[in-house]
Every structure is written in structure tokens, then in C-alpha cells.
Structure 1
């Protein structure tokens, strides 16, 4: 005759208690939410600002009068749009010739007819920054070879060169792929005012120059 196996009551109670107090299986944590990989387009990828075709967009005559200490409406301007010069990497040029209104020739006058010019602005664009820097260096070395004094100056946060010659004062510098050259005839302002006046005007032009 087979006898049934009987567990003591204390042993059975211990087994049941162990089952009821065991920790439930932990669920896997939810995966982290994906982060966005979209980044804003860098401003450097934006198309460059086109070169202006009118000097009023770059350096209006009232700004010239103010910087040179002249009465309002003392200055007129002629704008000449230049052509590209691939040999030196130049892609465009705007020439501005500031003179008393009676001396400013009409827009359809042949190039080079700018009698009485007191201030000249040459704003040019180049294929790249290296070509612009090379052009500035060539200008500085040419004037230095003529005996002009060359001094480093600041135009805002940019470095420029002030060239002091016998008949003119020239401020030239590169700004990205552009070059800015301001030529002031000697005697238009006092010698100690020439540098500050050119620096003031260059800072205004820089905001309108393509980079």
C-alpha cells in the first residue's frame, strides 16, 4: 500500500511566503527618444551679396561731407561700373569719384573724365579671399616703392593699411573676397585729419561690401 507524502505545516508556509515576497521581473527601460540632427544652414553658405552698381548704395555724399568736415551738399559723385579682370581674379568693380558738384561729369562721359576729384573709392570683388589679399599687397608694395609711408591701422575689427604719399592718402584693405581702396587728395583736409576721416568712411563702406 502506497503512503502519501505529507509536508510539515511550517515547511509549506515557508515556501508560500518565499513565492509571495520574490521581486517581479524588471521590464526593459524605454529607449531614449531620438534627438534631432537638423542643424541651421551656416551663413557662409548663403549666396554672396552682389556688388552695388551705384555709389549712393555704398557711400552717399552726405557721409562724405560729414567725414571731411564740409557743409552739406558740398560734394557730388560719379559712379563707374568696371569690368571683370580674370588675370588678377577680379570679378567686378565699382568706382566712385567724389568732387564738388560743378566738377562731376555726367554719367555718360568717357571713362577717366573726373576733374576735380577729391575722394575716390574703388570697391572690387575677387574670385576668393586669396586673390583679394594679393591685390592689396600689390597696391601697398607699389606705393611703398614710390616712397610713400605705410602704416597699419584698424577699421573696426579689420586691419587696413594707410599709405601717405606726396599727393594723396590711400586707405586700402581686404574684406573677405572684396577690396576697399579710398584715395584722398592731399590738401582736402588737414594732414592730421586725413587718416581718421578715411578710417571713418571705410567703416561705413565695409557694411555694404560683399564678403
Structure 2
């Protein structure tokens, strides 16, 4: 049996939007013991019904901290801390966690005790989510990048932010595309969404290097 069948993988996504689903479908084909935890799930996209295991944890809330007319402003995304119990029950070998939210922080804090690997998936880059003018947020994010085993992003701007602003080492930190980048999500009528496997294969290669 392919040793990839022995890996338990958790994806932590605040919202499992439709654009994630082609990548998650392909990823699950390589790693069947993949489970997606999310705070909000809009349902499966056409053509991807039950193509991966998903579980909604708690309630998803976005709290507006400061409003700006030129951007999204400063927000805080509340996600249930009960994710801890679900991760302890699953005992994944690797965790892919979206961005720098509370679930990523919890996964990193538990890493020394649970011996799992944590990969931060950063969805692009923009002034409204980079918080380049917040010294405290940048300090926390730099520490998170240092504690993580790898980072992936879906844009060159995201890579520049990780490397140039958060001090991720380009050699040791994996930079790959996913979602609608090189995977190229496209609507194809009844056939739903399609994606290319190249970037998923690169991510899978990294995961397979983890000893089980």
C-alpha cells in the first residue's frame, strides 16, 4: 500500500469556500485520511459532492474592529476553540491551516505536545489583511512563521509578504500555488469545476517526507 494512505491530514479553514474544493478533492485522492474542519461550509460545489470529509466546528463570526472606506478595515474572525478536541481526537500527522488566525495559533501551540507538522496556507496578500502597520500583529505572525514547518501561498505577492515582511526563509519554506492559481479553477457547466494536479503534487511531496 502507498504510505500516503497512512497519513492523517487536517485542513483548518475558517470558511471552506467553493474555490478550495478542487484542491481538496485532488488532495484527498492522494491522502484518503484527510479531514477538513471549518467554521462555515456553503455546501459542495457541483461535481464535488462528498469528494472530501468536512466537519463544521462551532460558529463563524467576523467582528469589525475598525471601519475603513478604502478597504475591509480591521476585523477579528472568531472560530471555536473546541477545534482542540477534534484535533486531539484525529491526531493528524500534518495540519494545513489557513492564514494566521486563532486555529493556526492553537495548532502551533499544541505542536510540541502532539508532534504534528503545521503548514500555514496564506491566501494572497493585500493591505487589508497584511497589517504591515501593526507592529504587534507582525511580531506575532513572524513568530508563527518561525514555528511553522512550511508556508504555502497562491500568489507572488503572498510569497513576497511571507519572505520579505515575515522573514520566512525561501529555501526552507515551501512556496506553492493552490486554489485558483496554477490549479486554475474554471466553470465547465455540468462538469462543475476542474483543476490541475501539478501544485497539489508538490504539496503532497512535502507531506510524504513526514515520518509516520
Is the TM-score greater than 0.5? no
Q: TM-score, normalised by structure 2?
A: 0.25
Q: Which protein has the larger Cα radius of gyration, Structure 1 or Structure 2? A: 1
Q: TM-score, normalised by structure 1?
A: 0.25
Larger RCO, structures 1/2 (Cα 8 Å, 6+ apart)? 2
